[in-house]
Structure 1
């Protein structure tokens, strides 16, 4: 029964409100319901102040509707008592006689002031903010979804975290859409309050004069004063709900409740408090002004500013003491020197002002790098070496560098206190223009506190850690072959031997050495083919190695065994768009194949080669202009040589063989043909 109570509370309450509209209630019960209404509105207002983000109070739009219906039910019940009995309980009596001193004029003025505050100021502003927030939240949804996908692809978050963040984005859009609609309830409630009080005054005067034989003045004192009290009783909680609406739609995501955030942010500037305190003291000496209140407030502001100064000096002294603390010195051993001499496979260097990125928190750079290593292991089938992260005084401020085997291969910036906004409408945002280092998108480093505002404009906002890890992931993917060491191959082979001993025993070391296997796996990674399925790769290598230990042939045999895996990244659903080579040209290329130390090469005269490349680039440009990302398909014997020929000039255009394409069981669409342009001699 206790578990069913929360489930049944709201439905039962709504049914009771509906009954309140049609069933008369006694005055004592009306007093109780009015008190519940006021306290309910107060609890909602206080709750909106203590939540850290609007989604923490996602039930607010529904509560707003229920509260509005409740107030309207109370209006109907109180009207029935006021007009029928001339008495509507002690609460309305108190508001009508005590709160406004029993004066009809004062009560009417107070009521109108409350209506103006609610309708013109609070409700109008909240309605506009809710409308704009709903529009910008919906516009920003695609960018937020792309940011989640980018974090997932970079290994920064798991599938469960990605689903949770997508659900949060969807819930945020639903919340602001609901707030846009529910703000109309508040506006309608204010209008209904005015109409109801006018109807009650007219009805009360008519009943008093026509039915009860009262004079106009006595009827006004009896019925109009109770009506004013009834209006005040309902308008006060209505005003609280209107303020709650404005509070919830103007809150941005924060790390603390409203009170804590307000205190920390108002105390940012000691000078602002000092100037305000001095201004208050000066105003105390203006003739006719009350001296004591101004002096008290000014003194409090000056004392607060001095406390802020002392706090800042204490924090600065603590930082200086920590920086000046001498490090524990120890005798430098040979092992220490050898460790310093060791070249790390992968390294991130940070400028001194970026060391806060490795603070040790759960979401810092080190945690993201660990997640990236796990993601790379699952996607590529290789275990990344540990990524060393250290500071470097040689780097300019806000700069990071990625080093591979001791050589810098990438560099970027990640200013402290800033986030990267990507989008088309960034001109209105303050910050430093930049170019995103991986995809080359235009962006702007904006202050961190502008994050929510940037998202409302539709921009995709990425924090500094995500920028660095995405850049690192790009470097790892492009250099995976270099990062795979001989020791890694040995560990992978030992692991495969535990589950597929026959595949390993037949291949290593009987047919191929560990070095030969290493070279094959590097060849696969160089073309971004994952090596997760090592048992299948080893079985294919064992079959091919019995015919020839040629490295190029071994790589092609492994690719054929992994055919569907090789083709999968290039599919659009089940469709594979391809560029083909003209049959006559393909035959001519086969005849032009020559062996070399680096594998087979296609030997063409410069004029013919230039013509072929021009035709390929033209076909590729045409396909890309149509929004396609095709692959080049050729005969298996040509594939490796064609890739060496076209990759440097086409930005790494994928080259697949007919065997790989047909093994994927995909729908194929030819979007271009590579020709020789000039006739090929027979």
Structure 2
């Protein structure tokens, strides 16, 4: 921006700021200093112009706060009209004896054109306008303003609490919450101001009556005493001018009263008043009875047929056009979106990729579970799953995109993570799933099935058999709970697939608010963001949450060395945070049940590690198969009792055994000796040896 442009902009802003003070000074001058009739005419026209502009702005406002300056505008418009009344009173009383044109052309025109020069008619017209303004419009608008102000102020604490609740739930950002609080406060101030501003209109109408009486009485007295007119001539001259002056002021006052009433009676909508009324009157079935009733009245004897029957025809035409337009809209809505020929070969990245990491695809028979018109039971559970998993895992679980898939069966669903299908099954939306709890006292008829999450035997039953199933010992759940539980299980066991560099960056940014020195000592040296994300993914893959990320970051700082790869660094971190890992398995004072390997087998594994190096599966396949079979056999009694336990081995073999057991015992963690805190009690449930030897030990 050049210097001249900057100076011009400053001058324009200064000029805008000076308009209002100058206008107020002019209003005061109109009340004190005598002004010519020409200036008075300009003032009257300006008053009408402002009133019309205010009315149009009020009509086109979508909501009352769109014209939040209306109370102040109403104040200054009232002051303008009153100052013009004072100035016109001075002119009428001083120069009224010279004729109607002495007070200006506007007053003369209103006195002669609107009331035909008959002051008696003018008095009645003015009285009717005053009744309409004061009794009907102003009184009603004032009552609405008073009630709106009271209700708005009463609702203000509740609205503030709702904003705080949305902010705490993460539905609003701090900036959005601040903006909404400002809107609530502005709304309360606006309705409070409108309650007081309505008194301006009422006071202005009262002042108009008093000014009219003063002009009439004062004019007659001055005409007879000072100017030698007879009473009839003085009455005709001054009453005509007084009525013209009163009508000039009353017409803009009526416009402002209508504007005030339209503002306070508005209901919040995305449309302006014209669009809102047009949309609500655009119902064809409402116009059909109107046309029928008018048609019936039009054929009655003695009725003005040539007026009523055309009105009936017009109403019928409107009903026909509205019905035709609605039918055309329905046809257009049912038609598929046309594709422009020039865009047929234009393929965008959005057409071939999906930015959502988590996805739930459902068949068309399950749409009722996510339909908002039917309370969308599944959507509420998904929101709860995301919130709970985010707390447990230590990072925000991404949004879950739910969409229908016509390639699926009507009752099928599919869970995807990063585009990979991790789970799918079938549910019946109108039935309930009765799970075999293992202690049944009877059976219930239904469609045999299995729980998709844990593979339990189950039966799909009708809702009418719910009580029968509960009495028989079944655990009964609804279809949305079945899908939600399956989704929760799959997301929790695939958390590593959802964690990337962006999530690592957010964890570091959050930690930096409370421990800035720790974050500065961690990244970008000695560890890069990608290395930190890789370690976090490795921990999540083995069921280690990131809730206490500060402890993990401290361990990373202590263990980071240039000679360690990601796997070795992860093992070192696990040893430092062993207490965090153990507390997710059993309570603090309860001993940890473990399955260990005997010394000979540990020696074989150590030798395999030295030979295999960093191979993904360094253990010889035959030996690996025997280890899996033996450990699985040893674990069955613990699994039957639903007890949490761990497989404990040497630090050298821990990572390889973890990968080996993950497909067979996905719920069982594999720990090294160094990960168990010194004071933690341990219960050795079994010792697995080479050649399938298993020896059980008491705790």
Structure 2 Cα separation of the partners of residues 352 and 501 of structure 1: 51
Shift of 1:548: 8.6
- How big is the shift at 1:300? 1.4
Q: SS in structure 2 opposite 1:33?
A: helix
Q: Which residue of 1 aligns with 2:580?
A: 554
1:103 to 114, 118, 121: 118
Inter-partner Cα distance in structure 2 for 1:639 and 1:299 = 95
Q: Go from structure 1 to structure 2 and tell me whether the alpha carbon gap of 1:248 and 1:378 turns closer, same or farther (over 3 Å shift).
A: farther
Q: Quote the Cα distance in structure 2 between the aligned partners of 1:20 and 1:379.
A: 74
Following TM superposition, by how much is the alpha carbon of 1:186 offset from its aligned partner in structure 2, in angstroms? 0.7
Q: Deviations over 1:322-355 (max 9, x none)?
A: 49x9xxxxxxxxxxxxx9xxx9955386965899
Q: Deviations over 1:392-447 (max 9, x none)?
A: 89xxxxxx999997599xxx9xxxxxxxxxxxxxxxxxxxxxxxxxxxxxxxxxxx
In structure 2, distance between residues paired with 1:375 and 1:161: 24
Q: Partner residue of 1:130?
A: 145
Tell me which of 164, 177, 181 is aligned to 2:192: 177
**Aligned positions, number:** 472
User: 1:277/1:183 Cα in 2 relative to 1: closer, same or farther (>3 Å)?
Assistant: same
Q: Aligned with 2:401: secondary structure? A: strand
1:596 matched to 2:593? The reply is yes
Deviations 1:145-176 (A, max 9, x none): 33333444444443333322222222111111
Alignment partner, residue 387 of structure 1: 400
Aligned residue for 1:463?
none
Using the TM superposition, give the Cα deviation of residue 43 of structure 1 relative to its aligned residue in structure 2, in angstroms.
0.9
- Cα distance in 2, alignment partners of residues 381 and 191 from structure 1: 69
- Write the distance in 1 (CA, Å) between the matches of 2:238 and 2:176: 61
Shift of 1:274: 1.3
Provide the C-alpha distance between the structure 2 equivalents of 1:8 and 1:640, rounded to a whole number of angstroms: 79
Partner of 1:279: 293
Tell me if the contact between 2:61 and 2:67 (Cα under 8 Å) persists in the aligned partners.
yes
Name the structure, 1 or 2, with higher relative contact order (CA <8 Å, separation 6+). 1
The 3 A distance-change label for structure 1 pair 71 and 271 is same
**Distance in 2 of aligned mates of 1:250 and 1:71:** 25
Classify 1:2/1:97 alpha carbon distance in 2 versus 1 (closer, same or farther; 3 Å).
same
Structure 2 counterparts to residues 427-446 of structure 1, below 5 A? none
Deviation at 1:199, TM superposition (A): 1.7
Match of 1:70 among 76, 80, 96: 80
In structure 2, C-alpha distance between the alignment counterparts of 1:541 and 1:557, rounded to whole Å: 22
Evaluate the alpha carbon distance shift between residue 66 and residue 478 of structure 1 in structure 2; reply closer, same or farther with a 3 A threshold.
farther
- The answer to whether the 8 A contact 1:200-1:227 is kept is yes
Q: In structure 1, list runs of 5 or more residues that go unmatched.
A: 326-338, 358-365, 394-399, 413-470, 559-588, 599-636, 642-682
Note closer, same or farther for the CA distance 1:248–1:516 as it changes in structure 2 (3 Å cut).
closer
User: Contact 1:52–1:254 at 8 Å: present in 2 too?
Assistant: yes
Aligned to 2:666: none
Given candidates 546, 552, 556, the residue that maps to 1:538 is 556
Q: CA deviation at 1:514?
A: 6.7
Q: Given that residues 355 and 391 in structure 1 are in contact (C-alpha distance below 8 angstroms), is that contact kept between their aligned partners in structure 2?
A: no
Alpha-carbon contact 2:357-2:498 (below 8 Å) kept: no
CA shift for structure 1 position 534: 5.3
- The more displaced of 240-249 and 542-551 is 542-551
1 CA distance for matches of 2:533 and 2:109? 96
Within-5 A mapping of 1:604-619? none
- Kindly report which structure 2 residues correspond to 1:317-356, keeping only aligned pairs within 5 A, or say none: 317-322=331-336, 347=360, 352=367
User: In the alignment, what sits opposite 1:39?
Assistant: 49
Q: Tell me whether 1:265 sits opposite 2:290 in the alignment.
A: no
Deviations 1:246-293 (A, max 9, x none): 0111112221221122111101x2121111122222222344432222
2 CA distance for matches of 1:174 and 1:198? 37
Q: CA deviation at 1:381?
A: 5.8
Task: After TM superposition, give the deviation of residue 593 of structure 1 in Å.
Answer: 4.3
Deviation at 1:90, TM superposition (A): 1.2
SS of residue paired to 1:174: helix
Secondary structure (helix, strand or coil) at the match of 2:297 reads helix
With structure 2 as the length reference, what TM-score do the two structures score? 0.57
Do the aligned partners of 2:126 and 2:243 also contact (CA within 8 Å) in 1?
Answer: yes
Q: Which moved more, 1:25-34 or 1:248-257?
A: 248-257
1:218 to 233, 239, 248: 233
Query: Offset of 1:245 from its aligned partner?
Result: 0.3
- Partner deviation per Cα, 1:517-565 (whole Å, 9 max, x = no partner): 655742x54xxx5x4885336347889987994976135899xxxxxxx
- The 2-side partners of 1:157 and 1:548 are apart by 36
- CA change 1:508–1:244 in 2 (3 A) is closer
Matches within 5 A, 1:554-593: 554-555=580-581, 593=590
Find the aligned partners of 2:143 and 2:301 in 1 and give their Cα distance: 42
Map of 1:49 onto structure 2: 59
Q: CA 1:513–1:4 in structure 2 vs 1: closer, same or farther (change >3 Å)? A: closer
Q: Which residue of 2 aligns with 1:201?
A: 216
Summarize the alignment of residues 380-529 of structure 1 with structure 2, pairs less than 5 Å apart. 382=395, 384-385=397-398, 387-391=400-404, 482=492, 485-488=495-498, 499-501=524-526, 518-519=541-542, 521-522=544-545, 525=547
Gaps of 5+ in 2: 1-10, 97-101, 340-352, 373-378, 407-412, 430-480, 509-521, 561-568, 596-676, 682-699
Q: In the alignment, what sits opposite 1:253?
A: 268
SS of the residue 2:228 aligns to: coil
Residue in 2 that maps onto 1:297:
311
User: Corresponding residue for 1:316?
Assistant: 330
- Aligned-pair CA distance for 1:131: 1.1
**Could you tell me whether the CA contact under 8 Å between 1:493 and 1:504 is conserved in 2?**
no
Cα shift at 1:98: 2.2
For the residues of structure 1 that align with 2:679 and 2:70, how far apart are their CA atoms? 62
8 A contact 2:115–2:122 mirrored in 1: yes
Does the CA-based 8 Å contact 2:119-2:240 persist in structure 1?
A: yes
Question: What is residue 464 of structure 2 aligned with on the other side?
Answer: none
Alignment CA distance shift 1:102-1:407 (3 Å): same
Structure 1 residues 443-494: Cα deviation after superposition (integer angstroms, max 9, x where no partner): xxxxxxxxxxxxxxxxxxxxxxxxxxxx9xx999998982662345676898
Offset at residue 182 of structure 1 (A): 0.8
- What is the Cα deviation at residue 203 of structure 1? 1.2
2:180 to 162, 165, 171: 165
* Residue of structure 2 in register with 1:462 after alignment: none
* CA positional deviation for 1:44: 0.6
8 Å contact from structure 1 (residues 37, 71) kept in 2: yes
The two structures, once aligned, show a CA RMSD in angstroms of 5.0
* Residues 95-122 of structure 1 deviation map (CA, whole Å, 9 limit, x = unaligned): 1122101112110110010000000000
| Cα distance in 1, alignment partners of residues 109 and 502 from structure 2 | 83
- Judging changes above 3 Å, is the alpha-carbon distance between structure 1 residues 7 and 551 closer, same or farther for their aligned structure 2 residues? closer
